[in-house]
Amino acid sequence: MRWSIFCLCLLISSAVLGQAKESEEQPPEEEAMIDEFRTGLTSSVNATAAWLDSFFADNIDPEAYDTASGSLTLTPVWDEYDGFKLDSSFRAAVVFPHAERKFSAIIGRGDFDDFINDSQQTRPSIIRRNLSDEEWMLGLGFDPHLSQKHSLSFGAGIRGGLKLDTYLRARYRYESILGESTEASLQSVGFWRDSDGFGIAQTAEFDFVLAPNWFAKVWGRATFAERTQGVRWNTSQKLYYIYHYERAVGAEVWWSGESEHEVPLRDYGLRALHRSRFKREWLFIEGWVGLHWPRETLIETRKPRWIIGLEMEMLFGK
């Protein structure tokens, strides 16, 4: 929480500095705080990659280590059902040149399901998650096959900090252009983790260009594991109107549940949203307001609850 609040203050102060920079002439070499933070974060991840890759070679060239990529996301949300919370996620990935670029390392904080599925950017922010899964994870990956349509990767690592909860995962992804205006991707993930046993997750995404300024996205995931009550599933449908370069308004509906839970349909809702690039090519803000109908127990009455949120995402590296 302290880390999240610090980063939130950093982004807000940087935005203010960015606005001041536009109104005042400053030396070209002078950077806003957020630019310095992003540069330092990228350099730190690349330096870590150089150190890890040194185990594969005697001599390394630090200039060759520019493979870092990732994102830092902060999401303050007020929910009439759950109250206020400040969610955060961090993910950084690096590729090792001396390992023929087939090995990579990943570090992150967030939801375990998102981590092993590599899907922080596709899962809607408003789908409610188990906060106990919000923790630090570290892993190594091996990508023996990468192509335009097919990719296969394996990974192993630890989660839960000092708990050292180990995990293994295998992931296959297929992407295809179905027509002039439709793109689809299917992903299958098999995993095992020490605390929860074996599991499998299937994700499907479809993108549609409906008109020059209209875009739609359909997303769904089903997960079955020893820790789930039957099949846990989430799905959402979005419709965007792009009214300016990297600015869009949209609407979304979503559903989520578990097939053997006492309430199989645990939540559904709708929201209006606005997403835009903010001051930098790599900084995005998405705000939303909506209603949802959560229900956790049979004795609970399902009724509409307001939800308001703001997501700030900073991309770094390549």
Say what the pTM is: 0.77
* pLDDT value, residue 230: 87
Distances (CA, A) of 65 to 96, 174, 252, 257: 8, 28, 40, 43
| pLDDT the model gives residue 22 | 41
**Cα–Cα distance measured from residue 99 to residue 265, given in angstroms and rounded to the nearest whole number:** 46
- The DSSP symbol for 61 reads -
What is the CATH architecture of 2-317? Beta Barrel (2.40)
Of 220, 275, 217, give the one whose Cα is nearest residue 242.
275
Q: What is the DSSP letter of 58?
A: S
In 62-195, which residue ranges form alpha helices assigned H by DSSP? Answer: 112-117
Q: How far apart are CA 188 and CA 262, in angstroms?
A: 27
Task: Report which residue type is found at 169.
Answer: R
Domain borders along the chain are: 2-317
Hunting for tokens 């770094």 — which residue is that? 316
Cα atoms in the 13 Å half-sphere on the side-chain side of 306: 4
| Residue with the two structure tokens 């992003």 | 38
Residue 293 corresponds to which amino acid?
W
Would you give the DSSP letter of residue 196?
T
d(CA 290, CA 306): 6
Distance from C-alpha of 43 to C-alpha of 49, rounded to nearest angstrom: 10
What's the rounded Cα separation, in Å, for the pair 94 and 118? 14
**How far, in Å, CA of 115 to CA of 65, rounded?**
23
Please list the rounded mean pLDDT of every run of 10 residues in the chain (318 residues): 42 41 42 80 77 66 72 90 87 73 75 73 60 68 79 85 79 90 94 84 94 93 85 93 91 93 93 91 92 93 94 85
CB count in 10 Å sphere of residue 288: 21
Per-residue pLDDT, 72: 87
**Residue recorded with tokens 């087939």:** 102
Q: Residue 59 class from Cβ within 10 Å (0-12 exposed, 13-18 middle, 19+ buried)?
A: exposed
Helix, strand, coil percentages, rounded to 5, for the chain: 20, 55, 25
Distance of alpha carbon 112 from alpha carbon 134, whole angstroms: 7
AA identity, residue 157: G
Look up tokens 């929480």; give the residue: 1
Beta bridge partners of 269: 254, 292
Handedness of CA 93, 97, 101, 104 (dihedral sign): negative
**The pLDDT value given to residue 137:** 78
DSSP string for residues in 28-70: TT---HHHHHHHHHHHHHHHHHHHHHGGG-S---GGG----EE
User: CB of 187 within 8 A of CB of 170?
Assistant: no
Alpha helices in 121-218 (DSSP H): none
pLDDT at 31: 57
Residues 37, 11, 4, 275, CA torsion sign: negative
